[in-house]
Amino acid sequence: MVEVVTVEGVGFRYAGVPVLRAMSLGVESASTLVVVGANGSGKSTFLHLLAGVETPTEGCVHRREGARVALLPQRTQGIDALPLTVAECVAIGRFSPGRLLRRLGRTDRAAVTGMMERLDLAHLARRRLRELSGGQRQRTLIAQTLVQDADVYVLDEPTAALDTRSRHRVHELLAERSRGGAAVVLASHDTAEASLADHTLQL
Ligand SMILES: Nc1ncnc2c1ncn2[C@@H]1O[C@H](COP(=O)(O)OP(=O)(O)OP(=O)(O)O)[C@@H](O)[C@H]1O
């Protein structure tokens, strides 16, 4: 197994208050790591450190050179202020720096359409984000994350708001990503979800 992210002696404090201490582990490609723990135990903080949106106060997080990380944060309310449709929101997952203002090519458009079908969003493609139910909105953001070509998919409680059928579809997609060679890391309170895990991290 190849380590795509290496966590070495990591600690993290918010304004001096310690949240994570002395953590060391490797995130392996082609495997799924499920992060579990009580509310406030530091799951989101740990995922942000892995994805590079937070920097550790001690130790280091090393991502393999060129590794592409797709992150679905737990808090995504800000995006509702934008007048995006479901299709546009999913398509953002296929944009890359320097190509933002050009039309997506055929392969990218097919990936967006395919992902919307997989997550039962095709009939909502022209609907604005703020006009969706909580579960429909969450599926849109999961689609935006999983449509990316990434080496590491980091998802913070992705299925918390989903019905059983949607949850099952997301689990299938995550298993496909990991079988395809990516590392999948998800935070969860769902004990059934821990059954997806090759490794579990208890915080
Ligand atoms: N921006 C912040 N400033 C200060 N403290 C914070 C901040 N964000 C989180 N914390 C604190 O850090 C701790 C860990 O929070 P975190 O969100 O990582 O936990 P979590 O395990 O993801 O929780 P949950 O299961 O409720 O989503 C909590 O005690 C929280 O109050």
Residues of the domain holding 80: 3-202
> So what's the pLDDT on residue 166?
95
Whether 14 is in the pocket of ligand 1, judged by its Cβ within 6 Å, is yes
Q: Which of 12, 14, 39 to mutate to test the pocket of ligand 1 (most atoms within 8 A of CB)?
A: 14
Strand ranges for 115-171 from DSSP E: 152-156
Q: Which of 20, 23, 34, 44 to mutate to test the pocket of ligand 1 (most atoms within 8 A of CB)?
A: 44
How high is the ipTM of this complex? 0.97
Q: What is the pLDDT of residue 1?
A: 72
CATH (domain of 93):
3.40.50.300
- pLDDT tens for residues 71-130? 999 988 888 888 999 999 999 999 877 666 667 888 999 999 999 999 999 999 999 999
Burial 144-172 (b: 16+ CB within 10 A, else e): bbbbbebbbbbbbbbbbebeeebbebbbe
Q: What tens digit of pLDDT does each residue of 124-154 get?
A: 999 999 999 999 999 999 999 999 999 999 9
pTM: 0.94
Number of domains in the chain: 1
Task: Return the residue matching tokens 């055929």.
Answer: 106
